[in-house]
Amino acid sequence: MAANGNGVSTTPKSPLARIQTQKNGGICHDDSGKPVKAQTIDELHSLQKKRSAPTTPLDGVQGTFATISEDERQRQQLQSISASLASLTRGTGPKVVRGDPAGKVQSVSHVAHHHHIEAPTISVSDSSLKFTHVLYNLSPAELYEQAIKYEKGSFITSTGALATLSGAKTGRSPRDKRVVIDDTTQDELWWGKGSPNIEMDEHTFMVNRERAVDYLNSLDKVFVNDQFLNWDPQNRIKVRIVSARAYHSLFMHNMCIRPTPEELENFGTPDFTIYNAGQFPCNRYTHYMTSSTSIDLNLARREMVILGTQYAGEMKKGLFSVMHYLMPMRQILSLHSGCNMGKDGDVALFFGLSGTGKTTLSTDHNRYLIGDDEHCWSDNGVSNIEGGCYAKCIDLSREKEPDIWNAIKFGTVLENVVFDEHTREVDYGDKSVTENTRAAYPIEYIPNAKIPCVGPHPKNVILLACDAFGVLPPVSKLSLAQTMYHFISGYTALVAGTEDGIKEPTATFSACFGAAFIMLHPTKYAAMLAEKMLKHGATGWLVNTGWSGGSYGSGNRIKLPYTRKILDAIHSGSLLNATYHKTEVFGLDIPTEIEGVPSEILHPENTWADKKAYKETLLKLAGLFKKNFETFTNYKIGKDNKLTEEILAAGPNF
């Protein structure tokens, strides 16, 4: 470096820009913030998270935890959870403490001290010497962390959903689901031929309960969800789910109704409790056990025990079975249906088995979605039982199901899907794990969901059937007796493949469109449905989304736009004013014309080239209906047999 005559330094030319400095004594300006107050990395991490403050003022609060301190509220909460985990041998519950056992002990400035509930010292055991950490009503973000860190097979997909595995079981195990039979349930529940209820005694239930509770108490931590069922505030049920997996906790967080902080503070004692010890098998030497799996319901104790299956759908459908028992006891009808509402407040119920289009047709961008699967019909109107949706994902595409596609984001649980190991993009067509891939997400993820999920009394009750025989009309208006008959029948037809590639229709009947979940005799639900329809002026419709012009293989599937036009006419009320004529055999009233639908397809016989084949197929299906209904003919509804006879008369006549 050299200096010129003016005393200014000169430097050789350089491709780099010259650094300019301020004339402040040669010291560069420091624009950084104040240093952090932490002295260690652990202290820095503790500053990252702030404790959630109670949102409910203590003064004037009514309920279990009213006018008590935060410490006392937490103590009572833990005491309730400990009581839920009580073992028969100990009499009271284990020592429980809030928080993740892997986490650092909180400083005194954040929490005064840990509360725990002492177990009696009747006998010393390893479990009585340890604490069980309770992870209580964690947020989706917290549950993501738990799943990713501790549960093998948990990954975040490219859209932000949590992909999980349900283990060896990728579907429900109906043959392993049992209900305790006692003096009350022996008379109230549906037992015997056709019933989904398999009996077990009280002693065997308690053996399995003890096994599940001991397993859960042996763990360092358990997940506890306190949530609600039924959006009708007058008839909601408080449920507690105790589980060992973050996957199960997040699944139920999505599927049950999520309490507000205020509701959680006043939650109190649950009405029903699930003990999910699905990672641990039942003892096959225990009476009634036929495998390592058992899903046990005890209605008297209001408890459910799960052993030997990690499939989360067992919890959802187990609680649905419970609602099928508890709600009718309150004169509330529980329904396996979809439900939506028009902008004018007209509500429609959609019943249908798998493949009938229930989810697709109940999801209408011109109508509000109340729910996609489980509902109650009370004197207050209709209400969704759940707080989320459990959608099938196999062959899912943005074009076919845009709402479901867009709902698969952060917070959603994806069960048993296959994804690219690098990009984490899900291949919904891949069945490597199972065909029963599922997504569980909060109902708020659907753009046109009605929150709260309640509505007025339904105007239309729509029974969907995918008739692969091709003999049922696209739409029929049903009398009250016909509605009961077809509701009890719960018909659809599946297309089953044979080894040589030939496919033929197979009739499937499921009472009340959900036989696997009902607790009472189907005719009891049908009688309640008819009573409510009569009282509130609802109309029954049978809509065929299956084949026309021949059976599967010779005919064609009824086009979805035609079915939507039919539903539009039902919703608007215009179809009530149409001209009708009766069909033979089934005696169904079918309209002569519907706007936007070719009139020739409204009567199925018109679309068959071979009239003789049509008649033979029609009589074949009618015979299948009659054979199926033999299970219900001996059950009397009411004091006399009049109502039963009316239902039987509404069936096919040939």
Residue 365 to residues 360, 375, 417, 571, 627, Cα–Cα distance (Å): 11, 20, 27, 14, 40
Which amino acid, 439?
Answer: A
Q: Which residues pair with 224 in a beta bridge?
A: 136, 242
Residue 145 neighbours by CB under 8 Å, 6+ apart: none
Point out the catalytic residue in the list 373, 459, 492, 644.
Answer: 373
CA–centroid distance for 390 within its chain = 5
What 3-state class would DSSP assign to 646?
helix
Query: In this structure, what token pair is assigned to residue 360?
Result: 């697709």
Asked if residues 454 and 233 have their Cβ atoms less than 8 Å apart, the reply is no
List 221, 236, 358, 457, catalytic entry: 358
Active site residue 172: yes
Joined tokens for residue 10: 């000169």
∠ CA(37), CA(38), CA(43), 5° rounding?
A: 145
Choosing from 107, 158, 184, 354, the catalytic residue is: 354
Which one is catalytic: 56, 87, 321, 359? 359
Q: Is 537 left (phi over 0), alpha (psi -120 to 50) or beta?
A: left
Active site residue 214: no
Is residue 642 part of the annotated active site? The answer reads no
CA diameter of the chain: 124
Asked if 373 is an active-site residue, the reply is: yes
Among the options 438, 450, 532, 571, which is catalytic?
Answer: 438
Residue 221 appears among annotated catalytic residues: no
Pairing verdict, β 155-156 and 237-243:
unpaired
Q: Known catalytic residue: 354?
A: yes
**Secondary structure E strands in 510-618:** 539-544, 547-548, 556-557, 580-582, 589-591
In the residue annotation, 330 being an active-site residue is answered as: no
Tell me whether residue 358 is one of the annotated catalytic residues.
yes
Question: How far does Cα 482 stand from its chain's mean position?
Answer: 30
- Alpha-carbon distance of 310 to 300, in angstroms, equals 25
Tell me how far apart the alpha carbons of residues 234 and 598 are, in angstroms, rounded to a whole number.
46
Catalytic-labelled residue, pool 133, 221, 236, 317: 317
Find out whether 170 and 416 touch, Cβ atoms under 8 Å.
yes
Measured between its terminal Cα atoms, the distance across the chain in Å is 113
Known catalytic residues? Answer: 172, 317, 336, 354, 358-359, 373, 438
